[in-house]
Amino acid sequence: MASDKVITLTKDNYSEVVEKSDIPVLVDFWAQWCGPCRIVAPVIDELAEDYDGKIKVAKLNVDDEAEIAAQFRIMSIPTVLIFKDGQIAERLIGARSKREYAQVIDKHL
């Protein structure tokens, strides 16, 4: 079940959500056709619930927002970027376990 705490990123809200955030932001770069992305999706939703208020969790569809994906040189998906103060603090490429994502998030809180 998708979490209502996950923000859908677009070029229209990107700056507001990511660059102006006063808390870390996890961005999941994904696409509809990507099998591993579908595996990671429920994990991202759980993280959004678990870390509600501590981090923002957002998803960016690389097909819909190719410009932003290109800006961050997203070559393979899923890629999860953790932003802190608008800058990339961490880049995780490929599907990971919830525990691995949580360890990286905890490092940046």
Among all residues, which ones are annotated catalytic?
34, 37
Look at the alpha carbons of 55, 100, 80, 89 in this order and tell me if their dihedral is positive or negative.
positive
Residues composing the chain: 109
Which tokens hold the place of 84?
A: 């802190």
Strands (E), the chain: 6-8, 25-30, 56-61, 79-84, 87-93
SS3 77: coil
